[in-house]
Amino acid sequence: MLGRKKTDRKKENTTQQLAEEKAVTQKLPGKSLSAGNIVEIGTASIIGSRKSQQDAIFGYALGETALGIVCDGMGGLAGGETASRIALESLADAWFAQAEGFDIPDFFRREAVNADRKVYVQKDTDGRRLQAGTTIVAAVIHKGGLYWLSVGDSKLYFIRGHEIRSLNVEHNYRMELNTLLRQGRMTAQEYAAQEYRAEALTSYLGIGDISVMDVSPRAYPLEDGDTILLASDGLYRSLHEEEILAVLQKNSRNMQQAAQALTAAVGGRKQQDNTSVVVMRYTMEKRR
């Protein structure tokens, strides 16, 4: 590809980006879980058959608030790694720097522009512009609502019960082709002739003047047991939605186990892209 609110003793989880192939969710010491709604989170990443890991992932959960990010870099070995890391750190750092009560959709729109600019101005060892980019999909769960940001073609899946569906739009040439076909401005024959270009991205962080992004305008209300999956294209280009759902249902009791099971399901293939996932499950307090 050219992918805090004060609490009384709650459990805090965070994911650190490590040098190895995987990112590992850690439980910070000294805090225990009190009653109330919570978000459980798991993360996993594999290099696949690629020579380098150009995905970057982050997961954080504290009580009923959580942040998950998946970035899929592009633009050569060092370029893709740099782009995904810069974008992820930009958004995560900005999140923790915010005061309470800020507007989350506005935050996502603003920080997508900031991350785009930071990636765009990166230079290589010769002082020339790096010309790299990255997709990003990020989700926040806060006070029973889901918010998201998406640029590029990484996926945000929403799972409720036995149903799975994608909530975001893929920013690639296929989206434009589909629009032209639907509006009658392109014939089926013309569509077929252009389909070889369909997976080319039309928006990504690092483009330099980003104007196309997918941001939830308001909170999407969650119910007990709802699960959110963020994934780079290495997952959904290898597994159908029904297969993804089956893996999640089989590992529904533990989100870290679910994340690792998803990457294990595609691991070992001869032509496997970098594959990274963040899985978040919202659990409501049981009322008596």
Residue 4 falls inside a structural domain = no
CATH of residue 45: 3.60.40.10
pLDDT at residue number 90:
97
Q: What are phi and psi of 109, to 5 degrees?
A: -65, -45
Nearest residue to 171 (alpha-carbon basis) of 128, 142, 205:
205
Q: Specify the range with the lowest mean pLDDT, choosing from 144-158, 180-194, 216-230.
A: 180-194
Which of the four pLDDT bands, split at 50, 70 and 90, describes residue 1? very low
Structural tokens at position 78: 């060092």
Which residue segment(s) compose the domain that 275 sits in? Answer: 12-168+203-283
Q: Is residue 184 part of a domain?
A: no
pLDDT at 8 over 60: no
Q: In this predicted model, which residue has the larger pLDDT, 56 or 187?
A: 56
pLDDT digits (tens, 9 = 90+) for 135-160: 999 999 999 999 999 999 999 999 99
7: pLDDT strictly greater than 50: no
CA distance 244 to 71: 19
Surface-to-core class of residue 103, CB atoms within 10 Å of its CB (0-12 exposed, 13-18 middle, 19+ buried): exposed
Q: Say if 110 falls within a structural domain.
A: yes
Reported as a single tens digit per residue, the pLDDT across 265-276 is 999 888 899 999
Which residue is it, tokens 């050219």? 2
Q: What is the mean pLDDT of residues 58-80?
A: 91
- Pick the more confident residue, 268 or 109: 109
User: pLDDT per residue over 17-66, tens digit each?
Assistant: 333 333 333 333 323 333 478 999 999 999 999 989 999 999 999 999 99
Strands of 38-46's sheet in order across: 38-46, 275-283, 227-231, 155-160, 163-166
Amino acid at 280: M
76 located within any domain: yes
Q: Is residue 25 part of a domain?
A: yes
Domain membership flag for residue 2? no
Give the residue-averaged pLDDT of 11-18: 36
**pLDDT at residue 196 tops 80:** no
Residue 97, in any domain of the structure: yes
pLDDT(74) > 80: yes
Per-residue confidence (pLDDT) for residue 170, from 0 to 100: 85
Among candidate residues 40, 36, 51, the one with its CA nearest the CA of residue 15:
40
pTM score = 0.83
Q: How many domains does the chain have?
A: 1
- 60 lies in some domain: yes
Average pLDDT over residues 185-213: 86
Cβ atoms within 10 Å of 143's Cβ, excluding its own? 10
Give residue 96's pLDDT. Answer: 95
Residue 2 is predicted with a pLDDT of 37
Cα 245 vs. chain centroid, distance in angstroms? 17
Is residue 103 scored above 70 in pLDDT? yes
pLDDT at 32: 33
Provide CB contacts within 8 A for 246, sequence distance 6+: none
Decide if pLDDT at 193 tops 80.
Answer: yes
